[in-house]
Every structure is written in C-alpha cells, then in structure tokens.
Amino acid sequence: MSAIVANDLACQRGGRPVFSGLGFSLSAGQCLLLGGANGSGKSSLLRILAGLLPCSAGSLTWDGAALDQDPLHHAGRLHYLGHLDAVKPALSVAENLAFWAGLQQGRHGEEALLHFGLARLAGEPARRLSAGQRRRLALARLIAAPRELWLLDEPSVGLDAASREKLENALADHLAGGGRAVIATHQELGPAQAGRLDLNAFPPRHPDREHAW
C-alpha cells in the first residue's frame, strides 16, 4: 500500500525551530487535518510537503521514495493552496483559471467554475471579486486539474456556508477517488473519520541552546 510517511520531521524558519519529532502516515483516500496554535508550524508543514521548503531533519517518503528525490515529479502530483489565492486582478475569472489549469495540464476548467458557482462570473475581471469569490476561484484549480495530493492551508477562510459545503463535496469526491488531502484548519472541515495531527504536540527541541555558549 503506497503511503506518504513522515518520520521524525523537524522544521526551522529563519534559524528559529518551529517543530520537531513529527511523524504521520497518509494512505490513499485518507485526509489529515492539521491543528495547533498560531505559529505551531501548520503552514510550514504544508510547504515542506509541497517541496517549497526543505525540512531541517527527518525523512519524508511517498511509496518508499524520498519526496525531494524528484521535485518536478512530486510537484506534478499535488495541489498547493496557500493563504494567497494567486489570482491576477487584471485577468478575468475564466482567464485566471484557464492559465493555471493549462499550466497544470487540467481539462476541467468549466466544470470547476460550475462547481464553485463561478460560471456566471466567468467573464468578469477578477478585481471585482469579493474575498470569498477569489477564494472560490483558487479552490476551482483543485477540480480543474485532478491531482493525487491536496495541500490546503485554511481553505475555508472567507467562504459562506454554501461554498463551504461545495468544498466539502469536492473534498469527499477527491477522497472517494483515492486522493489524499492534508488540510490546516481551525474550522470543522473534512470527513468525520479524518486523521488529526495536533502540531502543539511536537514542540521544537533546542539542540542549539546547549551549544550556544
């Protein structure tokens, strides 16, 4: 069974340790919810999983192969959705989605706009969108190009109840199809049986402090 396995993972940002000794395993069809206080390293963990940030210690493997062995291949099987929406105000809603979907070799742009209720706004310049609508446009990328692993950082921020349900539906479809998801969230999200990882439980060790003198 192919699984993403993190073992004794540690992270530093700007020389400051964020977490250490973190481990989990994620199989196909599973969802992992990241919890923990602000600054506990949820976003950093997602960036590490995406290959945007190196971990300072530990190992991270998918099906036994290290994630950083072939970064281009790894990048091709994941969606990363950070705090920022990567939406260009000067382009229309459809143009924004078409660019990313095209780059990520996805063909389901229209379907994605429909799912998140953006079809009516397709021709509007993205600068006219509200924050929640922009978020929905960013979420539409998930559907436009199917990927095995979703890495979502507070995906439901700014969404109304109806849109959150659409996100839940998309997530359920994704998991049912054998996809995986790692989601940092403070809100209730994802299936009830989703795994939970509390980053407060992995405070950084301070190896440097002993040698600081």
Partner 1 sequence: MSGFLRIAGRDLQLAYRARGEALLAVAFFLLVAALFPLALGPEPRLLTRIAPGILWVAALFAVLLSLDRIFLADREDGSLDLLYLAPLPLEAVVLAKILAHWLSSGLPLVVCGPLIALLYDLPAAAYPVLLAALLLGTPALSAVGAVGAALTLGARRGGILLPLLVLPLYIPVLIFGVAAIDASLLGLSPRPQLLLLAAFALASLPLATVAGAAALRQALE
- The three-state secondary structure class of 197 is strand
SS (H, E, C) 115-154: HCCCHHHCCCEHHHCCHHHHHHHHHHHHHHCCCCEEEEEC
C-beta of 99 vs 158, nearer to partner 1: 99
C-beta of 95 vs 110, nearer to partner 1: 95
C-beta of 105 vs 193, nearer to partner 1: 105
Strand partners, 27: 3
Cβ 198 to partner 1, closest distance in Å? 25
C-beta of 54 vs 207, nearer to partner 1: 54
Cβ 102 to partner 1, closest distance in Å? 5
What are the tokens at 102?
């095209």
Rg (CA), the chain: 18
5's enclosing H/E stretch is: strand 3-13
Residues that bind partner 1 (CB under 8 A): 50-54, 72, 75-76, 78, 80, 82-88, 90-91, 95, 99-100, 102-105
Cβ 14 to partner 1, closest distance in Å? 9
Cβ 66 to partner 1, closest distance in Å? 17
